Structure 1
Amino acid sequence: MKTLTIIDTFGFFFRNYFALPNLTNSQGLPTGLLTGFANFIATLNEEHGTDYIFFALDAKGKTFRHTLDPAYKANRPAPPQDLQTQLPIAIEWIEKMGFNKCFMEGYEADDIIASAVAFAKKYDMKVRVVTHDKDLYQLIDDGRVVIYDPLKKSEINADACVEKFGVLPCQIQDYLSLIGDASDNIPGVRGIGPRGAKKLLDEFKTLEGIYANLDNISNVRNKKLLEEGRENAFLSKQLTALVDTLDVAARFERFKFPQENPLLAIRDELEKYELRRILSRLGSAPKVPQKEVQTFEAILVKDAAMLEEIMQNLTPETVVAFDTETDGLDTQSAKIVGFSFAFEAHRGYYVPLAHNYLGVPEQISKDVARKAIEKLFTCKLVVQNGKFDFKVVHRNFDLLPPVPYADTMILAWLLSPGSLVGLDALAKRFFGHEMVSFSSVVKRGETFASVALEEACVYAGEDAWMTLRLYHKLIQMLDPSMIDLAKAVEFPFVLTLMEMEERGIKVDQRFLRSLLEDAEARLGVLTKEIHQLTGSEFNINSTKQLGAVLFETLKLPAAKKTKSGYSTDESVLEGLKDAHPAIALLLEYRELYKLKSTYFEPLLKLAAKDKNSRVHTNFLQTGTSTGRLSSKEPNLQNIPVRTELGRAVREGFVAEPEWVLVGIDYSQIELRLLAHFSQDPALVNAFSEGKDIHQETAVKLFGEEEASAKRNIAKSINFGLLYGMGARKLGQTLGIPSKEAAGYIQSYFDSFPTVKEYLKSVQEKTKEQGFVETLLGRRRYFDYGNATPMLLAAYERESVNTVFQGSAADLIKLAMLKMDKNVLGEKAKLLLQIHDELIFEVPKEEAEAFAKRAKQCMEEIFALRVPLKTSVAIGKHWGALK
């Protein structure tokens, strides 16, 4: 039997791009789509021989489906610029490699494919359709027609279709007529989801069968939805019908697979785009790319007249990159040494202000610099980690910065949330450019103020020049919807974080010092007791010495061993709790020592530096892949609260005299998002009616009589499933066998079947399109095509986790941005964001009224299918807010 392979061209190219979205060659040219395409061709004939192959394309212009429904495929967002750049190259490659394209005016690629399938079946050919389009699943015919997934390298037959959608291939058209297809703007029947559609088709087989039996449908809601959606249902069936009568017979001989390796015909192109693996398979090494010619000119601004002349070139429409140089990294105390800016393709300017070394020339005065920065702030200002520069400018010049026109660090993070987003890393990644390193210009023990002006000019000017280059590059690469998100949320959020950091939060030094003294006294006692119980005196903080004592001297069973010795991490010690009386003391010692070294001592040191005893954490906007904030120096996001002393740390953060702290915490926000996204009726009803969701879950799992006693089990399951918790992890959490935990999970999914379908659909959709989206459309990419089995499992967990954690992060960012003067009043200040909680400092007499306004703002920030709820607490210290 001969084989025909048909490529659904645009869908195939889109999938390749999103699977490898950020690949570039050393010249910064995008290569992700091209790499995926070349890999596919390289392996196609080796892994799945084919006699015929062609590429089906959509014709330009409208098709007969637009006559049926003018809204068909309307409002599709423009693809990312990098994808648009690669598409014409890939289409050229098709012909250069000796393949053929096929398109017909007025029809889509789907119709070409359906017609080719019909022709091939007449002549007893096997057909492999390379696509991810749901419409084309209706062509599956076991033994004759399969869908092929090139990333998973697997064929999808009728059984796989049923497993994926719950219906047979012959029912796919009816299935899509019921649920619709948002990507093509096919309406379907509003309110009928995948589960409802499956049930209806199981019972009545076809769309016509469903409508012929409306009176026999017992579900009143579905019956009403079907009655109201009849017109859209049958319109959708017309839109998803495939034309299989187009004349493709005459072209078949042109579709023969080329006899010579097709990739040999594009060897020069493969070298140009540096596709090294493919070239090595062809028996040739890629040419070593020439190092990029340095076209950057660093210009030192020597006097006020020169600076003024340059400034005359700037208008409010000028896109200008801006960067500061300082004598330190602590923005609370750092003094500005100079600043750089760039608005032309090949120049960067450096303005020195406070270099300090023997023989240093005269520099620009602070007054002149201030006026220049004011002018720069009226332009379209582009920054890299602008929060740092804005805080420096605010503290040194008392200038309020604008919302940045763009921040390249944030743009790079939106493009690839898990990648490095520092300037040096981005320059190397996108342009193959090695930046001048800080360590090469600043000697150990000195600051930037000691650097000679000419050398400082090259270093600083390069920073501004590269930031401008990155801006233009990233704007091309990002999907337009992500750029809109950045402008609406992420860029304004820079100023919100800056204001929070500058305010800081007051620390009660006396209280923390007493905690430190108690901890040190207890650590001394624990040290003696541990030494006595183990019969050895050793450094408890040395994992190597501790491992030797536990596993060699005491002969305790070793759980795992690393290259550097025995592992003594918390999980290992927890597993040994019953093996020796010293283990419990070691765990207590570890907890106390962490509190002492991570919180008590650093907080006291930071508070002592501030005249008002306030500490100023650094919130990292790009610190996580999910979108949650993280913080450092000090880390206030992860203060341990499991022990009494850990909880006491929070009591050391206090309000000023006559002021109070107000904490407003989103209640069960991620479970509410689960209800919103999954539309599970039981979850939606429970939240809409204000019920205790954990109690409701316990009732469903264990019945009314046992529900209250087992509420905590239900709570662990509710939250655990959002983070991809399996039976083993749930069993560990609850202290029960994995088999029993697996039974709980199965009972949960039996009780909330829509939830299981939804979580599975997230994973499947992520595999299909290569990314997952949060509530506001922020994306996180996963390279499923190159994932190991272990990575694959991690990606499945993280894709689900990102939807909920990322969407919760979206909501709380929106709320923080909305905290304007109408909510805050004249005096209330936002101090901290700790996951789903906001902490404010408010005059005591205004606290109640403010809390009411802020609570309303947070609960009305976004319309979900279930109400958003918050809890409010007021107290003199942070510990009183829980």
Structure 2
Amino acid sequence: MSKVVTVIDTFGFFFRSFYALPQHLKTKDGFPTGLLTGFTNFISTLQKDHDSDYIIFAVDSKGDTFRNEIDENYKANRQAPPPELTMQLPVAIEWINKMGYKTLGLTGFEADDMIATVVKFAKDKGYKVRVVSHDKDLYQLIDDDNVTIVDAIKRKSVNEEACYEKYGVTPKQFIDYQSILGDSADNVPGVKGIGKVGAEKLLKEYGTLDNIYAHIDEIKGANQKKLIASKDQAYMSKQLVTLRDDAFDTLDFEEYKMDVENPFLNIYDELVQYEQNAILRTLHAKNMVSDEQKEKAVQKANEEIAEDHSAEEFKTTLITDKKTLDDVIAKLEELTIVAFDTETTGLDYENDKLVGFSFCFNEDEAYYVPFGHFYLGVGEQISEDDAKDAIKKIFNSLIVGHNIKFDLHFLNKFVGEELSVYSDSMILAWLINPEAALSLDKLSEKLLNHKMIAFKDTVKKGETFASVELEQACKYAAEDAYITFKLYNLFLQKLELQNADHLIDEADDIEIPFLQTLLKMEETGIAVDTAFLEKFLTEVQANIQTLTQEIYTLAGGEFNINSTKQLGVVLFETLGLPVGKKTKTGYSTDEKVLSSLKDSHEIIPKLLEYREVYKLYSTYIEPLLKLARESEDSRIHTSFVQTGTATGRLSSKNPNLQNIPTRTPLGAKIRQAFVAPKGKKLIGIDYSQIELRLLAHFSGDPVLVDAFNHNKDIHLQTAIVLFGEEEAAQKRGIAKTVNFGLLYGMGQKKLSDTLGITTKEAKAIIEKYFESFPTVKTYFRSIVDGSKEKGYIETLLRRRRYFDYENATPMFKAAYERESVNSVFQGSASDLIKLSMNKIIKTIEKENLGAKMLLQIHDELIFEVDEAVSDELGKKFQSIMEDIYKLNIPLKASLNIGDNWSQLK
């Protein structure tokens, strides 16, 4: 039986495990441990997953390699890895040797060349090789009988078939494939203008790079010109991507025997120091560690002092004269990345003002430009006119901000024109992990180990930023720009190292244009009928008063109805109603408790009605009326939160216009207050059953696909399958609940509560559904299995949501399974609506249409249009939404036109 060699692409593996594990893993002293945890997990499963005779850790050497002699630009653009990764690398390398394993590296060569040379020697001896890496550069080594690539994180092996399936070329063609394609990350030029599809097609037809150029006259069109123009680059690229298998002359495999027993005992002290608790529990459970060793290690760990790994020192420069400002701006070029931030007197762009701006375009210095500070003894500042000119010039470069939509509201108003931006570090942070805290200060502390200056420590209570002394303002403001610059570059690298660089394109092509779309919607606002709201307010106040008196009568006295504590005493002590549940502060009187007591006393229905009416009054009617009165044109401007949900759905705030209730007559009546001004109409276009259509698209279930392709009633079709033809019409509502419920992870308990049936009946319905739609069940299972294997799900446009199953309790694991399914559909629906909104806004501007996009309420868009063209534009926008993305089934959207929001259903 052939011997087996396992060779590790060491740094590649470390980078991969670092980004695969949660970034929040740290010791109590703040030292990051994600990479170390991934490494110890790997070593602990080494014998089980990589049962080998020999193990070699291939490493890169410091300094240039022979490839830099071929092209001095090779890997020149590679950014330094994030500090939390570089802090762990030397520890992990040291562990390899301490545990009894050996590294293999050689000056002038890369780890990949070490691996290629090991492979050659192993094949000469008839050994089999497993290369642990996710680097596609190593695919050229694959040989099904002898060499496979293993992704240790995904625990998958890549053979010739998997290589061909993924890239459309064989391992033997891979060098030529990369020679054409190039690699922007490593500065390998390739053939400019030919991508993956073109490279694959050329190699399928001609086999090799040499043969392509031998038949260059046969190749027609643009590809021929591109190949001729880039011939030198293609062959230079071939030299760069070809792995050397002659890095050394001999290799004694016996030096790398995989016979290390209990490797962790050799680094026990370090495991304690770096809080590798999972491995420590295993060692302790197997009684492999003495009490003396435990005590010594703990003492050593407690004596360790955490180093300060804050962001590098940087210079903050206050600019108060035009010449200095002009000189600095003159350094900016069209392709310069500039982090930009504003300081204002408050958060309301309608009424507050700009005070100054900060910017940063390198890691050494950040600038603050004041022009609106006002306090006794304030020094020289830039004039407003010079500030406007400077901002316009700076925005000719590539502008990056953190939540820059906020800044753009102030900036557009200040300079009198619409400015555009290149990227937003908050959006990139959200794409990396949509559930992480996204504020600049929290990201700085977590990722850069840098605690930022607090706003409350800069601006005195009751004052604004205009009152802050210039020098102190400069420190605070310039830091914002500097940290934004640092994070932006870090996030690009994180996305690339997570194999998620497609999300950089997602940001550029969709999310940043969407930011501009939302900006326009927020500035436009929606008109409100103030007189209607005032009348409605009076009616509701009278209703509340009547309900209050009725409740007092039924309770036998007056009390504060809005006080949970007082209400609990009245219900469960005075009236003696059965107690549902108690909290730390008294009796629970939440909606669920009150609903369960509905038939116990006539006060309960009155309380439920009071709560509904009071919530409408306090949460919607009164605040909306206040905002409408404050607006000169009676328009309300909500703020849309682009990064507020893990699935990608928008939320809105100040006020929240997405949660206005519609199920009750009073709730629905609020929508009558949102109106079209004279000469205008409101248009509502709502995607029909978008998530079920996505289910049909993704799963390919024949019943669902047939129903949507032939415009059948999907809920009726489901009812026919579940209950038969005779009962189908009667039980359509149940089928509808099941159809949507299962997308949201509804279990038998929730279904029984929703339908008012027993859990046994609910269980039987769910089982029948999955028996009848086996393709759907298989697809749901594939989502869950994929999320466990990869640690994330992807939406239609490949946005990701991560799930940390590894560290989850059983309850959270079950929740993750439900959410993984739900996230695919909600996230994909949000992808489609974003694409539609971006295209419609672009169409409105390009064709100068008499229309404005006002609101997005999940799957519905609301527009204000000129009355004379309302039908025409309604159909135009409906068509854009239905044709925005080619699914396996048609997208449908309903169109409604009216004078107020309530008429759009």
TM (normalized to structure 2)? 0.76
Check if 1:407 corresponds to 2:424: yes
- Pick from 457, 479, 494: which aligns with 1:477? 494
| Residue of structure 1 equivalent to 2:627 | 606
Q: Is the 8 A contact 1:97 1:265 kept in 2?
A: no
Structure-2 residue corresponding to 1:228: none
| Bigger mean CA offset, 252-261 vs 568-577 | 252-261
Within a 5 Å distance, the mapping from 1:555-634 to structure 2 comes to 555-634=576-655
Gaps of 5+ in 1: 61-77, 120-128, 132-147, 162-171, 188-230, 232-247
Match of 2:862 in 1: 839
| TM alignment of 1:417-456, pairs within 5 A | 417-456=434-473
Matches within 5 A, 1:436-835: 436-478=453-495, 479-820=500-841, 822=843, 825-835=848-858
Matched AA of 2:894 = S
Following superposition of structure 1 onto structure 2, how do residues 92-241 of structure 1 map, counting pairs within 5 Å?
Answer: 93-99=95-101
In 1, the alpha carbon distance for the partners of 2:876 and 2:368 equals 47
The answer to whether the Cα contact below 8 Å between 1:80 and 1:477 also exists between their aligned partners in 2 is no
Deviations 1:527-579 (A, max 9, x none): 11112212242111111222222223333333332222222222222222122
* 2:413 match: 395
- Structure 1 SS opposite 2:352: coil
Change (3 A) 1:276 1:343: farther
Aligned to 1:254: 257
Q: Does residue 860 of the first structure (1) align with residue 883 of the second (2)?
A: yes
Question: What's the CA shift for 1:872?
Answer: 0.2
Q: What CA distance in whole angstroms lies between the structure 2 residues aligned with 1:618 and 1:490? A: 16
DSSP-derived class of the 2:856 partner: strand
Confirm or deny that 1:311 pairs with 2:329: yes
Q: Deviations over 1:778-835 (max 9, x none)?
A: 0111111000011101111111111000000000000111114545642111111110
Cα distance, 1:354–1:130 mapped onto 2, change above 3 Å: closer
Q: How big is each residue's C-alpha offset from its partner over 1:648-689, in whole Å with a ceiling of 9 and x where there is no partner?
A: 111110011010000111110000110111111111111111
Q: Residue 642 and residue 343 in structure 1: after superposition, are their counterparts in 2 closer, same or farther (change >3 A)?
A: same
Q: Which amino acid in 2 is paired with 1:486?
A: A
Match for residue 198 of structure 2?
none
- 8 Å Cα contact 1:355-1:450 kept in structure 2: yes
Which residue in the other structure is 1:219 paired with? none
Q: Does structure 1 residue 264 correspond to structure 2 residue 281? A: no
Question: Which structure carries more relative contact order (alpha carbon 8 Å, separation 6+)?
Answer: 1
CA distance in 1, matches of 2:874, 2:49: 68
Paired position in structure 2 for 1:200: none
- Say yes or no: does 1:347 pair with 2:368: no
Q: CA deviation at 1:755?
A: 0.2
Equivalence for 1:38:
40
Residue in structure 2 matched with residue 359 of structure 1 by the alignment: 377
Counterpart of 1:238 in structure 2 is none
1:608 is matched by which residue type in structure 2?
R
Matched with 2:107 is none
% same residue = 50
C-alpha distance in 2 between matches for 1:396 and 1:615: 21
Aligned mates of 1:419, 1:5 — CA distance in 2: 40
User: Which of 401, 408, 411 is the aligned partner of 1:383?
Assistant: 401
How has the CA–CA distance of structure 1 residues 860 and 151 changed in structure 2, closer, same or farther, with 3 Å as cutoff?
closer
Structure 2 CA distance, aligned partners of 1:330 and 1:781?
34
| Change in 2 beyond 3 A, CA 1:104/1:430 | closer
Counterpart secondary structure, 2:865: strand
Contact 2:101 2:256 in 1 (8 A): no
Against the structure 1 CA distance between its residues 118 and 278, is the aligned structure 2 distance closer, same or farther, given a 3 Å change threshold? closer
Q: Is the 8 A contact 1:96 1:265 kept in 2?
A: no
Distance change (3 Å), C-alpha of 1:94 and 1:685: farther
Q: 1:329 aligns with which of 332, 341, 347?
A: 347
Secondary structure of 2:361's partner? strand
Q: Is the 8 A contact 1:9 1:55 kept in 2?
A: no
Cα deviations by residue, 1:259-317 (Å, 9 ceiling, x for unpaired): 4535618949x97x887987997534243122637612221111112211211111112
The alignment yields a C-alpha RMSD, in angstroms, of 4.0
Given that residues 96 and 266 in structure 1 are in contact (C-alpha distance below 8 angstroms), is that contact kept between their aligned partners in structure 2? no
Give yes or no for contact 1:24–1:430 (8 Å, CA) kept in 2. no
SS of match in other structure, 1:662? strand
Quote the Cα distance in structure 1 between the aligned partners of 2:453 and 2:412: 27
Distance 1:37 1:451, change over 3 A: same
Q: Is the 8 A contact 1:394 1:401 kept in 2?
A: yes
State the one-letter code of the partner of 1:421: L
Tell me which amino acid in the other structure corresponds to 2:655.
Answer: P
- Measured in 2, the distance between the counterparts of 1:263 and 1:827 equals 74
Question: 2:775 & 2:311 partners in 1: Cα distance?
Answer: 57
Distance in 1 between residues matched to 2:901 and 2:766, nearest whole Å: 36
1 CA distance for matches of 2:79 and 2:595? 51
Secondary structure of 1:255's aligned partner: coil
Deviation readout 1:90-110 (Å, 9 max, x if unpaired): 67754552236899759999x
Contact 2:681 2:870 in 1 (8 A): yes
Matched to 2:350, the amino acid is: Q
Summarize deviations over 1:5-26 as a string: whole Å, max 9, x none. 9899899878844542434769
What code does the residue aligned with 2:898 have? G
Question: Greater shift after overlay, 568-577 or 80-89?
Answer: 80-89
How far 1:617 moved relative to its partner? 0.2
Paired with 2:489 and 2:745, the residues of 1 have a C-alpha distance of 38
> Structure 1 residue 356: deviation in Å?
1.3
Contact kept in structure 1, 2:21 and 2:38, CA below 8 Å: yes
> Structure 2: which amino acid aligns with 1:582?
I
For the residue of structure 1 that corresponds to 2:668, the secondary structure is helix
Q: Tell whether the 8 Å contact from 1:508 to 1:654 is kept in structure 2 after alignment.
A: yes
Which amino acid in structure 2 is aligned with residue 810 of structure 1? Answer: D
Q: Structure 1: how far apart are the matches of 2:725 and 2:665? A: 34
Aligned ranges for residues 66-105 of structure 1 at < 5 Å?
93-99=95-101
Aligned amino acid, residue 409 of structure 2: K
CA contact (8 A) 2:18 2:85 kept: no
Contact conserved, 1:57 with 1:108, CA < 8 A, in 2? Answer: no
- Name structure 2 gaps, 5 residues minimum: 61-77, 105-113, 135-149, 171-203, 205-250, 282-293
Question: What is the identity, as a one-letter code, of the residue corresponding to 1:416?
Answer: N
- Following superposition, the deviation at residue 183 of structure 1 comes to 5.2
Are the counterparts in 1 of residues 311 and 450 from structure 2 also a CA contact under 8 Å? no
Change (3 A) 1:434 1:751: same
Quote the residue 1:288 is aligned against: 306
- Please say if 1:849 is aligned against 2:872: yes
- Partners of 1:644 and 1:454 in 2: CA distance: 57
Quick one: structure 1 residues 598 and 351, their matched pair in 2 at CA, closer, same or farther if it must change by over 3 Å? same
SS of 1:344's partner is: coil
